[in-house]
Amino acid sequence: MGEHIDSGQDLVGRDDLVEEVVSALSGSQYLGAILIGEAGVGKTALARTVAKHLDGTVSLLPVSASPSLRKVPFGALSPYLHSLSINDVGSSIAVYRSLMSHLDSSSNGSKKMPLFLVDDSHELDDSTSVLLSQLVAGRRARLLALARDKPGPTSEFSAMQQDGLLRRYDVRPLTDLEVHELCRRELGGDVLASVSATLAKMSGGNPMFLLALLRQAKRSGYLGVRNKVWRLVGPAPPLDVSLIDLIKARFRRRTPAQMSVLETLALAEPMPFDALVHCTDRLGVSELHEDGLISIADGRERLVTLSHPLYGEVIRQDVPAGRSLTIRRKVLDVFDQESSTADGFLRFVAWGLDCGLPPDDKTLLRAAVVANRLHDADFALRASRAVHTPELRGNALVEIARAQMTRGHFAYAREIVDEVLDQCTGFTLAKEASLLSIALRVRGEDAPNQIRADVVRWEHIAERIAAAADSPDDPQIKLGLAVSRNGYRIMEGFALNYEGRFREAEGILRDVLADRYCTDEVRLAGLSLLGEALGSTGRALEGTRASGEALQIIATHGNQFVGHTEFVLTRHFTSLAHAGLWDEIEELLDTLVRSKPSGPTSFTGITELSEGLIALRKGLMSSARTSLILGVEGLRESDSNQLMPMALGLAAFSCTMVGDTTRARGYATEFEGCASLGTMQARLLGKVHVVAANALFQGAARSIEELHVLARKAEADSMTVLAVVALELAGRLGDERCFEPLARLARTFEGPEGAVLTAMADAAVRKDPAALMDAAELAQSCGYLLIAAECLGKAVRYLSQRGEEHKSRTVQQKLNTIIGQLEGLQSPQFEAVRSTAKLTQRERDIAKLAGKGYSNREIADAQGVSVRTVEGHLYRIFAKLGITRREELPGADSASTG
């Protein structure tokens, strides 16, 4: 068949489509189906899977069309025309009889319906197309035809579709989530979201291209595995020769005019339609669009691109230097690079550098800025090093330093930044260099004091610039000083947040935000930090409003502030998490991270960390462990917000909760090695979870005491959320003293999480089963399954202690249901809740016999115990399982027990 896709296992993302096609071919409404899609999208693999599902009900007759057979009447049917004489080759009637003879002889009297599976049906000759249409219309056979979207199925098949005889199915490229799943399946392990996102972008979601890229990436070492997690290592290798040949085959038999269009687009895409037509040939553009090789977007400019990301990479390799230079000169006359996408803009600038026709220095500097935003350090260095205008040299050095920081060359970046600040003569450059200096500070020891040193230096530079001005009273100088002052005061607030001194930071941040010279850039930074401070002190809803406003500022300024997105989003996620607004986090991950081409790369680790935190709070333990392991590995690649200490603590705790003690020990040990890095909040959040995880190794009593110490210190320092987390974890370890201070602190919190924790703690303090059941219902409705289970577990215990066994069994049934949803939970610390539903081996044996209808005497004889002992066991079994009759025992035979 035309496309090769492995079909040894179930297709990713095609289950519903397979079911629909099988239904259409099995039912009476349609006589067949047509699968339409681009080459390599998986039509052949889909057809094979459909054929497997139909095995036993149809007689499969594969038909392979091809360009070489298109001029041969009935050539594609030759495998089924053995009885045809040489003289009858041109006779339609003779061909029909020969084909029917083959069908009759191959059926051997069976009633299986013949099914023609026609691959590349768009290449069928007219005679074959007409004959197959007649057979299908006459209900002598059924048809499953595969065709490319351009040029599409034959006219006969199209007519049958329009008449309702054939059902059309469009086979789309894989979504990003489906690409991620196929990567996991092909690599045989967990994969960072940034890896699958990069490969999704390169492959365009085409399964054939994706599999080829994956295999090449493994062979070349571009993909590497660490701690059982696949990640990208080093620069991308050149495309594999076999993949290049496969793509080049799509451009064969193209006219010179069409090749001119393809080459121009490969070098300059995306291009406005009018610009492309002006540089090339209108008819060629139209023909390529009709054949599906180029795409034309809606909109005023009608941007034109090649229809697949890999096409341009292959075509560019074959354009000679002289031809490239000629095309560029044509394009420069008509092409407005401002209309291009970020990737297209960078490609256009790189093309100019390659041709010896570089753009002006301002454009080169802008390209360096864009490349750094996209984490393309190599091109940022290339563009910034080509800037020679003295007035722009300081800005170029800042971009060079930023690129070196991305590469991990922190000492080199520090030297460059210090050089720029020593010679700085402009307010804007002082701001950019100072912010970059602070970004370098957070990666080292004693970050808050180092940040304050940078703030003082920034202040001195601003004063030096003002003093050197011709007129200190110049409005621009005054404005520059005022804006700079707000900038370094914001950084003072950042240093205070870094130390966990949120109340002090709040005052400074509110003052700056109220200042008349608070620019939009300063405002978005101030709002982000204010959101962090509010969220960390129990005012999470107010915090999300502040950081949400910062996100809105970014959204309304195009690409101007896009470089601040990660800084703002990370703090916004934190506030949302403190509030318990999980759906909002998921929505933001979809709209601002996963859906952006550069998003997962720049947010490496943060996506997985957010998903892991959500799963952990919900009690989905296996999912939490997987996501947090991925989050740790992602943050090893990039951790500009210094979240690693928190990620390690959460990962250690999640591993403990599912019984993965080896990883739990490893993460706890690694945490101790980096416990002095990161913000105070991240370090202490990691610390409390490591302490809780260590209960498995050092005993719950010691961990509980450590958690109380941490909670008291956090409360004294106004780190209210941290205190609540420590107390909640103490309660999870079996501590009863924690609930009174937990209720007192959580009562002041905003959002669903505060309400859930308050209800649980209040009910636990009063040991009130009814209140605990109400708290469990609230927790479950808000998605906190683990807290709901803990509340119900306490309610069961208190009801049993009061002798209210009937109510206890009812609550136990609810508890059993929730425990079943706490995927993978094996934590000894949670045994107090689990044990009420966990049967001993003796109890399981007795329950099994009772379920099969054995009497108490028969069970006693089989187990070698007294009847009274059996009765006692059954009483406890019924209580644990929350049931009242033998018929309700797991696996009970109603006929035997009834």
* CATH code for the domain of 139: 3.40.50.300
Q: Is residue 351 part of a domain?
A: no
Query: Rounded mean pLDDT of the chain?
Result: 87
Instruction: Give yes or no: residues 146 and 30 share one domain.
Output: yes
247: tokens are 């793509």
Q: Are residues 98 and 232 in the same domain?
A: no
In a domain, 295, yes or no: no
Co-location of 161 and 180 in the same domain? no
Asked if the structure places residue 711 within a domain, the reply is no
d(CA 124, CA 64): 9
pLDDT for 898 equals 42
Domain that holds residue 182: 176-237
Do 59 and 139 lie in one domain? The reply is yes
The answer, yes or no, to whether residue 599 has pLDDT greater than 60, is: no
Specify if 521 maps to a domain.
Answer: yes
Span 528-539, average pLDDT:
94
Whether 141 and 88 share a structural domain: yes
Q: What is the predicted pLDDT for the residue at 338? A: 63
Burial 457-471 (b: 16+ CB within 10 A, else e): bbbebbeebbeeeee
Task: Name which residue leads in pLDDT, 232 or 366.
Answer: 366
Of the residues 144, 170, 196, which one is the last residue of a structural domain?
Answer: 170
CA distance from start to end of the chain: 59
Does one domain contain both 858 and 876?
yes
Please state the φ and ψ torsions of residue 295, each to the nearest 5 degrees: -120, 145
Same domain, 55 and 186: no
**More confident of the two residues 715 and 797:** 715
Nearest of 394, 393, 383, 441 to residue 414 by alpha carbon: 441
Distance CA 355, CA 313 (A): 17
Ramachandran angles phi, psi of 389, nearest 5°: -65, 125
Q: Which of 543, 574, 735 is nearest to 642 (CA)?
A: 574
The answer to the question of residue 337 being in a domain is: no
Question: What percent of the chain is modeled with pLDDT above 90?
Answer: 50
Among 148, 170, 192, identify where a domain stops: 170
What CATH number is given to the structural domain containing 874?
A: 1.10.10.10
Q: How many structural domains compose the chain?
A: 4
Identify the weakest region by mean pLDDT among 142-156, 476-490, 627-641, 881-895.
Answer: 881-895
Residues 155 and 197 in one domain: no
In a domain, 359, yes or no: no
Question: Final residue of a domain: which of 140, 170, 200?
Answer: 170
Which phi and psi (to 5°) does residue 568 adopt?
-75, -45
Residues 187, 78 share a domain: no
> Residue 403: pLDDT above 80?
yes
Residues ≥6 apart with Cβ < 8 Å to 246: 212
Together in a domain, 211 and 73: no
pLDDT score recorded for residue 882? 59
Looking at the structure, do residues 109 and 187 belong to the same domain, yes or no?
no
| pLDDT score, position 881 | 67
Q: Read off the pLDDT of residues 38-48 as tens digits, 9 standing for 90 and up.
A: 888 899 999 99
Alpha helices in 375-409 (DSSP H): 377-385, 390-407
0.85 cut: is pTM over it? no
Tokens coding 302 = 């009608």
Same domain, 197 and 60: no
Cα–Cα distance measured from residue 575 to residue 585, given in angstroms and rounded to the nearest whole number: 10
**Domain membership flag for residue 605:** no
Contacts of 877 (CB under 8 A, 6+ apart): 839, 843, 846, 847, 850, 889
Band (pLDDT 50/70/90 cuts) for residue 863 is: confident
DSSP 3-state percent helix, strand, coil across the chain (nearest 5): 70, 5, 25
Residue 834's pLDDT band (cuts 50, 70, 90): very low
Domain-embedded: residue 430: no
Distance CA 394, CA 380 (A): 15
pLDDT band at 344, cuts 50/70/90? confident
